[in-house]
Amino acid sequence: MSERIFIGVAWPYANSPLHLGQIAGAYLPPDIFARYHRTKGNEVLMVSGSDQHGTPITIRAEQEGKRPAEIAREYHQQFLESWQKFGISFDLFTTTGTANHTQVAQELFLTLLNKGYIYKATVKQAFCAKCQRYLPDRYIEGTCPHCGYTGARGDQCDQCGKPLTPEELIQSRCGVCGATPEFKDSEHFFLRLTAFEDKLLSWVRQQEHWRPNVFNFTLRYLEEGLKDRAITRDIDWGIPLPLDGFPGKRLYVWFEAVIGYLSATKEWAKSIGDEEKWRYFWQGEVKSYYFIGKDNILFHTIIWPAMLMGYGGLNLPYDVPANEYLTIEGRKLSSSRNWAVWLPDYLSRYDPDPLRYLLSVNMPETGDTDFSWREFVRRNNDELVATYGNLVQRVLTFVYRRFDGCVPAPGEIDSRSQGLLDKAEETLKIVDGLLYRCRFREAIKSAMSLAQEANRYLEDKSPWKVVKQDRQAAATALYVALAVISGLRTALYPFLPFSSQKLHKLLGFEGSVEEDGWQLHMPPPGQKLLPPEPLFTKLDEELIAKETGRLG
């Protein structure tokens, strides 16, 4: 029975190139997950898009003397290119700038308003007398009342991850000029989060399959009690309210961007000419996964579920497998200080799979992990090239030269050979079970241990020597090795799609790995191989110094 899987992926702000922290945290994991489920024959919809509203974009536009829409367009285009080159296989990657998104967001706003979950109240909004403007929350800085971090912003504290309002900040200051802002009365709309407190609590308590960090963080936050949150702002860049009489107000970006999961699904349905098909991924027997970084947890475990509960008739998240942070060369990643590795930069010099490999074995699933160029080169050379790539290269080259380029017919399979074939079957099952539960690191390690096992097998059997005396024994060993290599092609495909698809062709298979399904598909004797080519390239250690020199 095939399953229906909805995958929502964090919406990146279209204000800067993507860096490895975002990739390891929120973009590579859902792609692995989507490719795995597609190979299993499940129905997958993976959507996201550029968040083109929000003050990060207006800040960038002001810095560059451009209009926010131009900035958003430029980076959206760059994101699309990055996904394509890095192999992040979205079914749709749209933007929050479409008419469709505006319409869906406004409709959701009106429904919540009519049901009494949105109300109007007067609040204090920060105004900088020196800059002569109302300050968006992100423009206000100060000390976090929860953890004491001095660089907290008016919308959120990056240190402890808690959402904030500008009035809560201690010693607030204007993020542009540093002056102390005044707080002036302004009328705004609020989301009545307090109405959902009990419902959310009992729902979250049932989510014991969530990662412990996500589960505990959410539960603790809920147990402290919720506050209603303003969902409009006095700004001119964003989605207008679908009401008369509020020309200077826009929907607040955090309220509007999460609606993108729904609007993107509707856009996708229209694009395939089946407008009502969006329901297929939002109602009934569907599991919805939201892949995000840890700074986004509460928006996906509390706020978005509350909005969905209020709206009614749509599925709540099934899992929110948020990741922790990736540090770079032992230090906290900082885009403003250029302590970051930028994905477009990486892709201009290297292949996608070595980075996908490193970020998978080193994914910040349960705690922060570190990226270093030394580790990148070591993992590429010692593991991808020496363990997996060489195995494939040796076997394919030998079979190609000595067995007329065709899969040899095996003789009797002895217990050593059968043991390895069993291990290949078992590895596919283990990787299957781990990926199903979003345990990516363990899954790729399990797949790689099969490659090590195959190398040991070949050392024992040494078909390259044996072939002179006993051609049949060599043929059997090579047949078994090819079968295991074929299993590795499948087990590693979600992580290393480019090299797996290449290997698929080299082994003489047609079509794609996904179409071939999640199974140990042994290439049949007589199947014609393509002329072998290496899957990976050894990297020069010199690049370590060159690349670390670009940091900071």
Residue numbers of the site for Zn ion (CB under 5 A)? 128, 130-131, 144, 146-147, 149, 157, 159-160, 174, 176-177, 179
Please name every residue paired with 261 in a beta bridge, in sequence order, or none if there are none.
none
Query: Whole-number minimum distance, CB 157 to Zn ion, in Å?
Result: 3
Residues 6+ apart with CB under 8 A from 490: 39, 428, 500, 513, 516, 518, 519, 520, 521
Report how far residue 156's alpha carbon sits from residue 160's, in angstroms, rounded to the nearest whole number: 9
Query: Whole-number minimum distance, CB 324 to Zn ion, in Å?
Result: 16
* Contact by Cβ (8 Å): 83, 45: no
Nearest residue (CB) to Zn ion, 87 versus 163: 163
Query: Whole-number minimum distance, CB 218 to Zn ion, in Å?
Result: 16
Nearest residue (CB) to Zn ion, 141 versus 256: 141
For 272-368, strand residue ranges (E) read: 286-291, 326-328
Number of helical H runs and strand E runs in the chain: 22, 15
Query: Whole-number minimum distance, CB 251 to Zn ion, in Å?
Result: 24
User: Which residue matches tokens 């394919």?
Assistant: 396
In the structure encoding, which two tokens stand for residue 50, read together? 């550029």
Report how far residue 424's alpha carbon sits from residue 422's, in angstroms, rounded to the nearest whole number: 5
* Contact by Cβ (8 Å): 436, 289: no
Nearest residue (CB) to Zn ion, 160 versus 543: 160
* Own/partner long-range contacts of 548-552 (Cβ < 8 Å, ≥24 apart): 548/329, 548/372, 548/373, 550/345, 551/328, 551/329, 551/338, 551/339, 551/340, 551/341, 552/337, 552/338, 552/339
Query: Whole-number minimum distance, CB 155 to Zn ion, in Å?
Result: 12
Nearest residue (CB) to Zn ion, 49 versus 175: 175
Report how far residue 254's alpha carbon sits from residue 231's, in angstroms, rounded to the nearest whole number: 8
Residues 6+ apart with CB under 8 A from 132: none
Query: Whole-number minimum distance, CB 160 to Zn ion, in Å?
Result: 3
In the structure encoding, which two tokens stand for residue 548, read together? 């670390």
Nearest residue (CB) to Zn ion, 60 versus 423: 60
Nearest residue (CB) to Zn ion, 147 versus 272: 147
In the structure encoding, which two tokens stand for residue 385, read together? 């090239």
Query: Whole-number minimum distance, CB 168 to Zn ion, in Å?
Result: 10
Nearest residue (CB) to Zn ion, 5 versus 128: 128
Nearest residue (CB) to Zn ion, 153 versus 300: 153
Query: Whole-number minimum distance, CB 348 to Zn ion, in Å?
Result: 37
